[in-house]
Amino acid sequence: MHISEHPVLKEKSNEKVFFYFNNHRLEAKKGQTVAAALMANGIRKLGVSRKLSQPRGLYCSNGRCTSCFVTINGLDHVISCTTLVENNMQVFSNNNDPEIRGEKYGN
């Protein structure tokens, strides 16, 4: 949920951004990170872990723990807590290891 009346910070961002998560259209506010925008929409499970396939989500929100990685506009393993959400961004939960060898990377 978005915080509409912050107890301390009165400045508001009202500019809306629309993006997609697993093909669902969602609304966010400009200036929010992808992870926060998903959380504002009630989505906290961002994918599963690589080895045990357990649910994973945002943990440190600082780009250090990398627990919140997703696929953004076709790029695997993007850290969603350090990436700002943009209009028409295509976000998918990233449930596999990234493809690093393949035609699309030229090898």
Partner 1 sequence: METDLLIIGGGPAGLHAALTADRAGARVVVADESFSLGGQLRQQTQWLSNLPGQYGYGKKRGTWVNEQLINQVGASNVQVLKKHTMIGSYLNGNIGVSDGDKTFEIQSRKNIIAPGAQEEAKVFPGWTLPGVMTAGAAQILINREKVLPGKRAVMVGSNDFSLEVARQLNSCGITVEAIVEEKNQIICSDGELVKTLENVPVYTNSTIEIVTGAGEVEHVVIQTPDGLKEVNVDLVCIANGFSPILEPFEIMNCHFVYQKELGGWLAAYNIHLQTTNPSCYIAGNAAGITDFGSILLTGEIAALSALEAMGFISSAEGTEQKSRCWRELANLESEKVLQARTEMLADYHQKHELDLPDYFMKIKGGKMYG
Residue whose structure tokens are 């850290």: 79
In whole angstroms, what is the distance from residue 81 CA to residue 85 CA?
10
Positions in 64-83 near partner 1 (CB under 8 A): 64-65, 67, 81-82
61 binds partner 1 (CB under 8 A): yes
98 binds partner 1 (CB under 8 A): no
Residue in 26, 58, 72, 91 binding partner 1, rule: CB under 8 A:
58
In whole angstroms, what is the distance from residue 91 CA to residue 13 CA?
22
In whole angstroms, what is the distance from residue 59 CA to residue 77 CA?
15
Residue with smaller CB distance to partner 1, 5 or 103: 5
Q: Minimum distance between the CB of residue 54 and partner 1, rounded to whole angstroms? A: 6
Task: Measure the CA dihedral 35/25/77/106, to 10°.
Answer: -160
Q: How many residues bind partner 1 (CB under 8 A)?
A: 35
24 binds partner 1 (CB under 8 A): no
